Amino acid sequence: MRIVALAGGIGGARFLRGVQRAYPEADLTVVVNTGDDTTLYGLRICPDLDTVMYTLGEGIDEERGWGRQDESWRAKEELAAYGSPTAWFGLGDRDLATHLRRTQLMLGGMSLTEVTASLCGRWQPGATLLPMSDSQAETHVTVVEEGTKKAIHFQEWWIRHRAALPAQAITLVHHGDLLPAAGVLEAIDAADLVLLPPSNPVVSIGTILQVKGIREALTDKRVVGVSPIIGGAPVRGMADACLTAIGVETSAEAVGRHYGSDLLDGWLVDTTDAGVTVPGVEVRAVPLLMTDLDATAAMARAAVDLA
* Run of H or E residues at 234: strand 233-234
Nearer to ligand GDP, 11 or 67 (CB): 11
Under 8 Å between Cβ of 28 and 85: no
Q: How many residues does the chain have?
A: 307
Nearer to ligand GDP, 215 or 236 (CB): 236
DSSP notation for 108-166: TT--HHHHHHHHHHHH--SSEEEES-SS--EEEEEEEETTEEEEEEHHIIIIISTT-SP
Nearest to 246 by CA among 166, 165, 174: 166
Q: Judged by CB under 6 A, which of 32, 91, 283, 290 binds ligand GDP? A: 290
Q: Judged by CB under 5 A, which of 9, 59, 225, 228 binds Ca ion? A: 9
Residue 244 half-sphere exposure toward CB, CA atoms < 13 A: 13
Instruction: Report the distance separating Cα 303 and Cα 284, nearest Å.
Output: 9
Print the binding letters for residues 240-279 with ligand GDP: x by CB under 6 A, - otherwise: ----------------------------------------
Instruction: Report the distance separating Cα 27 and Cα 251, nearest Å.
Output: 32
Q: Judged by CB under 6 A, which of 18, 44, 48, 132 binds ligand GDP? A: 48
The SS3 call for residue 42 is coil
Nearer to ligand GDP, 36 or 265 (CB): 36
Instruction: Report the distance separating Cα 61 and Cα 41, nearest Å.
Output: 24
131 binds, among Ca ion, ligand GDP, none (CB under 5 to 8 A by kind): none
Q: Judged by CB under 6 A, which of 3, 28, 130, 288 binds ligand GDP? A: 288
Print the binding letters for residues 38-77 with Ca ion: x by CB under 5 A, - otherwise: ----------x-----------------------------
Stretch that binds ligand GDP, among 7-15, 148-156, 182-190, 212-220 (CB under 6 A): 7-15
Q: Is 12 in the site for ligand GDP (CB under 6 A)?
A: yes
Q: Is 236 in the site for ligand GDP (CB under 6 A)?
A: yes
Instruction: Give every CB contact of residue 1 below 8 A, 6+ residues apart in sequence.
Output: 23, 25, 26, 27, 192, 193, 304
Stretch that binds ligand GDP, among 3-11, 81-89, 119-127, 129-137 (CB under 6 A): 3-11
Q: Is 266 in the site for Ca ion (CB under 5 A)?
A: no
How many residues in the shown chain lie near ligand GDP by CB under 6 A? 21
10 binds, among ligand GDP, Ca ion, none (CB under 5 to 8 A by kind): ligand GDP
Report the 3 state secondary structure along 247-307. Answer: CCCCCHHHHHHHHHHHHCCEEEECHHHCCCCECCEEEEECCCCCCCHHHHHHHHHHHHHHC
Q: Is 217 in the site for ligand GDP (CB under 6 A)?
A: no
Shortest CB 145 distance to Ca ion, Å? 22
Phi, psi of 54 (to 5 degrees): -65, -40
Under 8 Å between Cβ of 14 and 55: yes
Q: Judged by CB under 6 A, which of 29, 55, 200, 250 binds ligand GDP? A: 200
Which residues form the interface with Ca ion (CB under 5 A)?
Answer: 8-9, 36, 48
Which residues form the interface with ligand GDP (CB under 6 A)?
Answer: 8-12, 48, 198-200, 204, 227-228, 230, 234-237, 239, 288-290
